[in-house]
Amino acid sequence: MRAPDTQLSLFTEQTSRPTSGPEQLPGIDIRESARARRLSIKVYPRGRVEVVVPKRTRPADVQAFVDENRGWISEAVESFACQQPPEAYALPSRIRLPGIGREFLVSYRRGSAAGIRYRQVGSTLVLSGRTSDREGCVQAIRRWLAGVARQELEPVLQRLSAQTEMPFARVQIRAQRTCWGSRSSTGTISLNLCLLFLDPRVLRYLMIHELCHYRHMNHSRRFWQLVGRYEPDYRQLDRALGESWQQVPAWLGIY
C-alpha cells in the first residue's frame, strides 16, 4: 500500500509519455520503475520532489521533462508550504510511538568513537559516539526503530494472520518513502517502520489490508469486500492512512 499518494489530494503529480537510465538531479529524487509507462513528477506535502521514470529512459529526456515543468514544481512546493508550515529539523529529545503505545527519552553522549552506537535502557534510547553528526544520529535512530518495529509489529501481524486464516511467509521491515506496506507474490509482507508513529487502528487496518492480498493480489471489488469483513471501517481508516505522513516526525527525513 502506497504512502502519501494513497489519496490524490495528498500530493500533486505531473505526467508525460515515456521516451527511453535516469540520472540524479539536484534536489530531486529519481526513481526508475518497471511499472511506469510515462514520466511523472510527484511533489509531496513536505516539499520532497520525486521523478518516476520507466525503464531505459534516457537521462536527457528526464532532464528535459524536469526543465519543462520547473515552474509547476515551484508552484506545487509553495502551495504545500502554505498548507504545511516548515518544521524544525532538530534531533528529538523524546520519541512517541502511538502505534505501540510507548514513549522513549533520547540521550546523546558524545564520545571519541568515529561512528554512533545505540542501546535501549528501559524507556531511554542512548546514542553514544560522534553525536554531533546529526545525519549519523538519525540513521542510528532508524536502525533502532527497525528493531522495535520487528519486535513489536511481527507478533501483532501473526495474531491477525491466525484470526483471519490468511498466512504469510515472512516479515520485512523497511523505511520506505512511498509505501506503508506491501505483500509480494512469495508471501513476504513488508512493513514501514514509520507505522510505529501511526494510530493503532490505522496500523491494524494496514496489516489486515496486506493480509487480504493472500487471497486477492489486487484491489478488486472482492478484495475490498474481504477487507470489510475484518475491518468494517476500512474506508475511513484508508483515508486516515493517506494523511498519516503528518504523524511521522520531520527529523526522520522520510516524509
pLDDT given at position 242: 85
Query: Once rounded to an integer, what is the mean pLDDT over residues 36-53?
Result: 82
- Residue 4: band (very low, low, confident or very high) from pLDDT cuts 50, 70, 90: very low
Q: Binning pLDDT at 50, 70 and 90, where does residue 231 land? A: very high
**Of 106-115, 128-137, 222-231, highest mean pLDDT:** 222-231
pLDDT of residue 6: 28
pLDDT at residue number 176? 83
The residue among 166 and 6 whose pLDDT is bigger is 166
pLDDT at 80 over 90: no
Lowest mean pLDDT among 37-46, 90-99, 132-141, 176-185: 37-46
The pTM of the full predicted model, rounded to 2 decimals, is 0.74
CATH architecture entry for 94-252: 2-Layer Sandwich (3.30)
Domain ranges of the chain: 4-83, 94-252
What pLDDT sits at residue 7? 28
pLDDT tens-digit series, residues 114-138:
889 999 999 999 999 999 999 899 9
Please give the pLDDT value at position 29: 80
What is the DSSP track for the chain? -BSGGGSGGGSEEEE---------BTTBEEEEESS-SS-EEEE-TTS-EEEEEETT--HHHHHHHHHHTHHHHHHHHHHHHHHS--------SEEEEGGGTEEEEEEEEE-S-SSEEEEEETTEEEEEE-TT-HHHHHHHHHHHHHHHHHHHHHHHHHHHHHHHT---SEEEEE--SSBSEEE-TTSEEEEEGGGGGS-HHHHHHHHHHHHHTTT-SS--HHHHHHHHHH-TTHHHHHHHHHTGGGGS-GGGS--
Digit-coded pLDDT (tens) for 141-194: 999 999 999 999 999 999 999 999 999 999 999 998 778 999 999 999 999 999
